[in-house]
Amino acid sequence: MVSGADSPLPAGLADLAELDPRWSRTLGVTDSLTGETHDWHLLDTEAELDRLGVTPVGTVLAVHGNPTWSYLWRRIVAASLAAAEAGAPAWRVIAVDQLNMGFSARTGAARRLEQRVRDLGELTDTLGLSGPVVTLGHDWGGVVALGWAVDHPELLAGIASLNTAVHHPLGVPIPAPLRLATARGVLATSTVSTPAFLETTLSLARPALSVEVKNAYREPYRSAADRAGIGAFVADIPVDERDVSYRELRRIAAGVSMLTVPALLLWGPDDPIFGDRYLDDLVDRLPHAEVHRFEGASHLIAEDRPYADAVLTWLADRVAPGAPASAMAADAHPAIDDAPYAPLWAALDARRDDDADAIIDMATRDGSVRHVSWRRLNDRVRRIAAGLASIGVRRGQRVSVLVPPGPTLTAVIYACLRIGAVVVVADAGLGVKGLSRAVRGAWPDVIIGEVKGLAAAKALGWPGLRISTATLPWASRRALGVSDSLAGIAARGADAALPAEPSPHDLAAILFTSGSTGPAKGVRYTHRQLSAVRDVLAAHFGITADTGLVTGFAPFALLGPALGTRSATPDMDVSAPRTLTARAVAAAVREADARMVFLSPAAILNVVATAGELTANDRAALEGVGTFLSTGAPVGEPLLAATAALMPNAEPHTPYGMTECLLVTDITLDGIRAAADAPDRGVCVGAPIGDNRVLISALDASGRPVGEPGSAPGVLGEVVISARHLKSSYDRLWLTDRAATADTPGDGGRWHRTGDVGHLDTQGRLWIEGRLPHVLTTADGPVAPVGTEQQLEQSPRVRRAAVVGVGPEGLRQAVAVVETVPAASKPGLADADLAAELRALSSLPLVAVLVVPELPTDIRHNSKIDRQRLSAWAEATLAGGRMERP
């Protein structure tokens, strides 16, 4: 065999699922150590590109891990060729079978990591590969690919990895599946003499692999001799310095940290082997990398998710000719430099010697009222900040805060912000599963929490150094893995110096969304953007030091100190808004002498419902309120009017916003009443605040927002927004963030696709008509649900209504699902009179009217109707399923 010569293809490659034999080739490569020539099997698109007459712009060098083979990369081979045929910039894809693996030669000798990296270099030398080259690796093939990248900087144009690792922390056990596979007496049996290791790996796919695909993966590993390389690969896993390949792994890890080429990290977070610990390490080494975690995906992410589309999109965005020259400068949301900036803690500094109230906490366990002065709050923040810095918490490190709203949470968050630590906030309203997903996804360096949160961290295996809010007994500290208490941290910081302040452009916080439209997303805010939230709130509502706030909505409860005014939290469970009563609001207003009240829609439902319990003193206190705000979901005129009746001298406002941009538009009760005479459908949420901007991207017949964002009135489409305080990006969700970033030709601003559907009217006011997934694609075109729901809610027998679709896309039929007055005892078809009444009120034909005791809502706000869940329930129910609660 002559090095560089092609050989006949091995038997077994024909008729494998999704694999075109024309992609395969076998090439002889000489081993520089032994002088022997070994056959390598490759998938290589060069011949197909030649057939198409296409010249590639570069090469993707793809390396599989253990126990897969180049078959793993068949989809990017196919996708790249399809893209080339469609006229997109063409990339040659070379997917290798490493020696002793797949259909490449069995050399009779184990290949250590250092040798595998050299093997790959000898292959590319034999191919005469020239740049630009982008490496793509998975599992331990990711390490090999990155080793090649480190050794070939002159050819390298980018790196992409799927679930791999270049470092394992000393003292931490390797993942359990690998510990089992490498155990004495188990290794040979599990990896070589039986196909157990291979079968276990194949079983990790989500959803399960088809029989045909499993058989394709099995094909080169039918006998024990064929599987020898699998066992040798497992045996070579370097755990510590005693292992032969440990030094090479460290060399590669150090080299990766020096790479500045564009980078892409695609991750399956449910991987039992390469979990988020390894992703976090790679992010630290490649801070400029685009990162996307595919929730629910596991180890075989190349089978679980459309990775090929992601890689080709990234290549076009970041690496292909015409893409940004530096990945470091490729932020989709450029920094805003033209606005005045003062850090969020500026008011704390200014009032450091003030003994007036800064925080009034009425939600204490013992029912007492806790007053915290500006002096005390500033001192507490400074001590905690300095103490955290003294134990090594530094700028950019993530701190997950599992503390309920109140003075302690406020002090911890401002302390973290002051030293440049990134605050991770995901509230308990997400539920245990959602909260765990959020915390593990953010992968904090530190967790600060109460016992309940720390117990969850311990039980669920959350990462991070653990600090308790209370001083715990030694046994409890040991059981929970707690290293210190806030009191201990504050004591450390009593005489310690504070580090330099973070930059306005440094990441400040990751705030998780409600999870009402899928898994909760971490929204990244810089210090400048958080300060801009404060500034727009203060300017629009005229907040001064004398205003005083009552906040029953956690995000804004934390802004009181930033606004320089006292704030009070009423007696309630902030994670359960419906626990708030009218008397609790009145008591908080009286205690704080507050002129502004801020509540969520779910909270004011119960406030109105309990208004009959108000005393004369309570009503007198509420008469002193000058401004009332409610946000988090659209608030209708009846509910806002009922609340206004409790605060007769207040101007009611219902701002529209979201976690990604907390304040976008605003409307008053008078504005809502004036809009009632308009012919528009939906909920009018008012005009943009300050210099915020709102555009609409029109929907096509299939309900997709494909229109260029514009301001023409009456156009139904997705709401697109721009503001100084708009998020920086989503955390480790590059594809999601990319999809949410709108193109606005000729505009250098930052734009976000909200997922909300609505229109602008002739006065520039925004009307919300639902969410994109809730749009009904009917034979007459796309229809948003909210307008019809409002029509149904005109009936005195309907408390709340939801309109959902059933049937095939493009021919969806509308179904009304309503909460009745009085409430129905169980789900069922509406009686004939109610069905007839609602059909008469609706401008949209209704194929059915169903009643339920209560409409399902998201777990955090208790106010956003879960229409997707209702749609699936209605479809199943009308198809003859059991009439159960949705």
767 assigned to some structural domain: yes
The answer to whether residues 417 and 344 touch, using CB atoms and an 8 Å cutoff, is yes
**Residue 266 confidence (pLDDT):** 98
**Residue 861 confidence (pLDDT):** 44
Burial status of residue 767 (CB atoms within 10 A of its CB: 0-12, 13-18, 19 or more): buried
3-state SS, residue 488: helix
Q: What residue type is assigned to position 121 of the chain?
A: G
d(CA 81, CA 113): 32
Band of the pLDDT at 332, cuts 50, 70, 90? Answer: very low
Q: Tokens 């008591």 identify what position?
A: 587
Q: Are residues 589 and 681 in the same domain?
A: no
More confident residue, 813 or 513: 813
The answer to whether residues 385 and 498 touch, using CB atoms and an 8 Å cutoff, is yes
* Number of domains the chain is built from: 5
Q: Are residues 747 and 815 in the same domain?
A: no
Query: What torsion, rounded to 10 degrees, do the Cα atoms 372, 375, 378, 380 define?
Result: -60
> Among the ranges 165-169, 308-312, 859-863, which has the highest mean pLDDT value?
308-312
What's 809's domain CATH number? Answer: 3.30.300.30
Of the listed ranges 169-178, 488-497, 742-751, the one predicted with least confidence: 742-751
Q: What residue type is assigned to position 641 of the chain?
A: A
**Residue 690 confidence (pLDDT):** 92
**Residue 427 confidence (pLDDT):** 74
CB-based contacts of 115: which residues, under 8 Å, 6+ apart?
33
| Length, in residues, of the chain | 886
The residues facing 484 across adjacent strands are: 467
Q: Are residues 806 and 832 in the same domain?
A: yes
d(CA 705, CA 782): 11
**Residue 115 confidence (pLDDT):** 97
**Residue 480 confidence (pLDDT):** 95
Of 384, 370, 377, the residue nearest 487 (C-alpha): 384
Q: Report the phi/psi class of residue 480: left, alpha or beta, with left for phi > 0 and alpha for psi in -120 to 50.
A: alpha
Burial status of residue 461 (CB atoms within 10 A of its CB: 0-12, 13-18, 19 or more): exposed
Sign of CA dihedral 202, 207, 212, 216: negative
Which two tokens mark 330?
Answer: 């490729």
**Residue 331 confidence (pLDDT):** 40
Sign of CA dihedral 188, 192, 194, 196: positive
Q: What's the rounded mean pLDDT across residues 776-803?
A: 92
**Residue 327 confidence (pLDDT):** 40
225 assigned to some structural domain: no
Instruction: Examine the fold and report which residue of 773, 803, 833 is the final residue of a domain before the chain moves on.
Output: 773
343 assigned to some structural domain: no
**Residue 515 confidence (pLDDT):** 67
Q: Are residues 649 and 680 in the same domain?
A: no
**Residue 30 confidence (pLDDT):** 95
Q: What's the rounded mean pLDDT across residues 342-359?
A: 95
For 807, phi then psi, to 5°, come to: 100, 180
What's 396's domain CATH number? Answer: 3.40.50.980
- Scored b (16 or more CB within 10 A) or e, 620-656 reads ebbeebbbbbbbbbbbebebbebbbebbeebebbbbb
194 assigned to some structural domain: no
Q: Are residues 409 and 494 in the same domain?
A: yes
pLDDT digits (tens, 9 = 90+) for 40-77: 999 999 999 999 999 999 999 999 999 999 999 999 99
Of the listed ranges 27-41, 372-386, 601-615, the one predicted with least confidence: 601-615
Of 781, 805, 785, the residue nearest 702 (C-alpha): 781
CB-based contacts of 528: which residues, under 8 Å, 6+ apart?
335, 336, 339, 341, 504, 505
434 assigned to some structural domain: yes
Q: What's the rounded mean pLDDT across residues 266-282?
A: 95
Q: Tokens 């449910």 identify what position?
A: 270
The answer to whether residues 724 and 339 touch, using CB atoms and an 8 Å cutoff, is yes
Q: Are residues 726 and 811 in the same domain?
A: no
What's 117's domain CATH number? Answer: 3.40.50.1820
Q: Are residues 565 and 711 in the same domain?
A: no
Instruction: Examine the fold and report which residue of 261, 294, 323 is the final residue of a domain before the chain moves on.
Output: 323
pLDDT digits (tens, 9 = 90+) for 533-562: 999 999 999 999 999 999 887 667 788 999
% pLDDT > 70, the chain = 94
350 assigned to some structural domain: no
Which two tokens mark 307?
Answer: 């990775």
Sheet of 482-485, strand order: 482-485, 465-468, 446-449, 398-402, 422-425, 507-512, 522-526, 729-730
Band of the pLDDT at 18, cuts 50, 70, 90? Answer: very high
Summary mean pLDDT of the chain: 91
**Residue 487 confidence (pLDDT):** 96
**Residue 602 confidence (pLDDT):** 80
Residue 164 has pLDDT above 50, yes or no: yes
pLDDT digits (tens, 9 = 90+) for 615-669: 999 999 999 999 999 887 767 788 889 999 999 999 999 999 999 998 999 999 9
Burial status of residue 190 (CB atoms within 10 A of its CB: 0-12, 13-18, 19 or more): buried
Q: Are residues 253 and 114 in the same domain?
A: yes
Residue 867 has pLDDT above 80, yes or no: yes
Q: Are residues 389 and 476 in the same domain?
A: yes
pLDDT digits (tens, 9 = 90+) for 34-50: 999 999 999 999 999 99
- Scored b (16 or more CB within 10 A) or e, 682-694 reads bbbbbbbbeebbb
d(CA 248, CA 267): 24
d(CA 75, CA 85): 15
Q: What's the rounded mean pLDDT across residues 421-427?
A: 90
Band of the pLDDT at 749, cuts 50, 70, 90? Answer: low
pLDDT digits (tens, 9 = 90+) for 662-704: 899 999 999 999 998 899 999 899 999 999 999 999 999 999 9
Q: What's the rounded mean pLDDT across residues 729-756?
A: 84
- Residue-number span of the structural domain to which 868 is assigned: 775-878
Band of the pLDDT at 335, cuts 50, 70, 90? Answer: very low
Q: What's the rounded mean pLDDT across residues 494-505?
A: 94
Q: Are residues 783 and 768 in the same domain?
A: no
Q: What's the rounded mean pLDDT across residues 111-140?
A: 96
**Residue 179 confidence (pLDDT):** 67
d(CA 697, CA 707): 5
Residue 835 has pLDDT above 60, yes or no: yes
Q: Are residues 284 and 140 in the same domain?
A: yes
Q: Are residues 623 and 690 in the same domain?
A: no
Of 82, 585, 68, the residue nearest 299 (C-alpha): 68
CA angle 531, 626, 607 (to 5 degrees): 95
Directed axis angle between helix 601-609 and helix 637-646, to 10°? 60
CA angle 487, 491, 494 (to 5 degrees): 135
d(CA 306, CA 15): 23
Kindly report the number of other CB atoms within 10 A of residue 745's CB atom: 6
Band of the pLDDT at 338, cuts 50, 70, 90? Answer: low
456 assigned to some structural domain: yes
Burial status of residue 248 (CB atoms within 10 A of its CB: 0-12, 13-18, 19 or more): buried
d(CA 358, CA 351): 9
Q: What's the rounded mean pLDDT across residues 767-782?
A: 92
**Residue 321 confidence (pLDDT):** 77
812 assigned to some structural domain: yes
Instruction: Examine the fold and report which residue of 475, 502, 529 is the final residue of a domain before the chain moves on.
Output: 502
Specify the long-range contacts of residues 877-882, CB closer than 8 Å, at least 24 apart.
877/827, 877/850, 878/806, 878/815, 878/847, 878/848
Residue 567 has pLDDT above 70, yes or no: yes
Q: What's the rounded mean pLDDT across residues 860-883?
A: 77
The residues facing 658 across adjacent strands are: 661
pLDDT digits (tens, 9 = 90+) for 224-260: 999 999 999 999 988 888 889 999 999 999 999 999 9
**Residue 257 confidence (pLDDT):** 97
